[in-house]
Amino acid sequence: MIKNIICIVAALLTFGAFAQDFEELMMVVADDRDTEDRLGWSCSIDGDFAVVGAYADDYGATNPNMGSAYVYERIGGVWTQIQKLSNSDQDDYDRFGWDVEINGDFIIVGAYGEDHDADDGASLSRAGSAYIFEKNDDDVWEEVQKLVPFDRAADDEFGWSVSIHGTTAIVGAHNDDKNALGLGYFYHAGSAYIFDREDDGTWTQTQKIVASDRSPGTEYAPDHEDWNDRFGESVAIWNDYLVVGGPFASKAYAFERSGDTWTEVAFLTFPGISWLDRAAPVDIDSTTIILGAQTEDLNADGEESILNSGGAAVFTRTGGTWGYLQKLSPDDRDAGDHFGISVGIDGDYIAIGAHSDNHDEGGGAELENTGSVYIFELQDDGTYDQLIKLDASDREVDDELGISIGISESTIIAGAFQQDQNPDGDTYLEDAGAAYFYTNLEGGGGDPGCEDVLYTQEIDICAGEEVEVGGSVYDETGVYTDVIITDLGCDSTVTTILSVADEIETEQEFFLCAGEFVWVGDSYYDEAGTYIDEFESDAGCDSLVFTYIEIAAPIDTDVDVDEALLEAVLDDADYQWYTCDPFEIIDGATTQGFIAEESGEYAVVVTDGGCTDTSDCYTVMIEDDPGSSLQESSFGESISIFPNPSNGSFTINGSLLAGTQVEIYNALGAVIYKGTINSNIHHVSIENQSAGIYVLKLTSELGTKIEKVNIR
Give ∠ CA 64-67-72 in degrees, rounded to 5. Answer: 145
Q: Which residues of 569-586 are buried (b: 16+ CB within 10 A; e: fewer)?
A: ebeebebbbbbbbebebb
Q: What DSSP assignment string belongs to 89-100?
A: T--TT--BTSEE
Label residue 634 by pLDDT band (50, 70, 90).
low
Whether the CA torsion 159, 164, 167, 172 is positive or negative: it is negative
Domains of the chain by start residue, with CATH: 39-263 (2.130.10.130), 504-551 (no CATH), 554-632 (2.60.40.2700), 634-712 (2.60.40.3080)
Cα–Cα distance measured from residue 394 to residue 408, given in angstroms and rounded to the nearest whole number: 24
Burial 19-51 (b: 16+ CB within 10 A, else e): eeebebbebbbbeebbebbbbbbbbbbbeebbb
Rounded Cα gap, residues 572 and 577, in angstroms = 15
Note the pLDDT tens digit of each residue in 171-200.
Answer: 999 999 999 999 988 888 999 999 999 999
Cis peptide before 643 (omega within 30 of 0): yes
Contacts of 83 (CB under 8 A, 6+ apart): 70, 71, 140, 141
13: three-class secondary structure by DSSP = helix
267, amino acid identity: F
pLDDT band at 582 (very low <50, low <70, confident <90, very high): confident
Give the Cα separation of 578 and 603 in Å (integer): 6
Alpha carbon of residue 160 to chain centroid: 7
Least Cα distance to 507 among 530, 540, 528, 525 occurs for: 530
Q: Which of 134, 114, 133, 132 is nearest to 124 (CA)?
A: 114
pLDDT tens column, 153-173: 999 999 999 999 999 999 999
| DSSP label at residue 5 | H
**Average of per-residue pLDDT values in the chain:** 87
Lowest mean pLDDT across 75-84, 273-282, 509-518: 273-282
Pick left, alpha or beta for residue 461 (phi over 0 → left; psi -120 to 50 → alpha; otherwise beta): beta
Question: Which of helix, strand or coil describes residue 4?
Answer: helix
DSSP 556-597: ---EEEETTEEEESS-SSEEEEEEETTEEE-TT--SSEEE-S
Q: Residue 16: pLDDT band by 50, 70, 90 thresholds?
A: very low
- Please state, as a whole number, how many other Cβ atoms lie within 10 Å of the Cβ of residue 454: 12
Pairing of strands 288-293, 282-285: antiparallel
pTM over 0.85: no
pLDDT at 521: 84
pLDDT at position 629 is: 42
Judge if the upstream peptide bond of residue 626 is cis by omega within 30 degrees of 0.
no
Q: How many residues does the chain have?
A: 712
| CA-CA-CA-CA torsion sign (147, 153, 159, 164) | negative
Q: Assign 517 a pLDDT band (cuts: 50, 70, 90).
A: confident
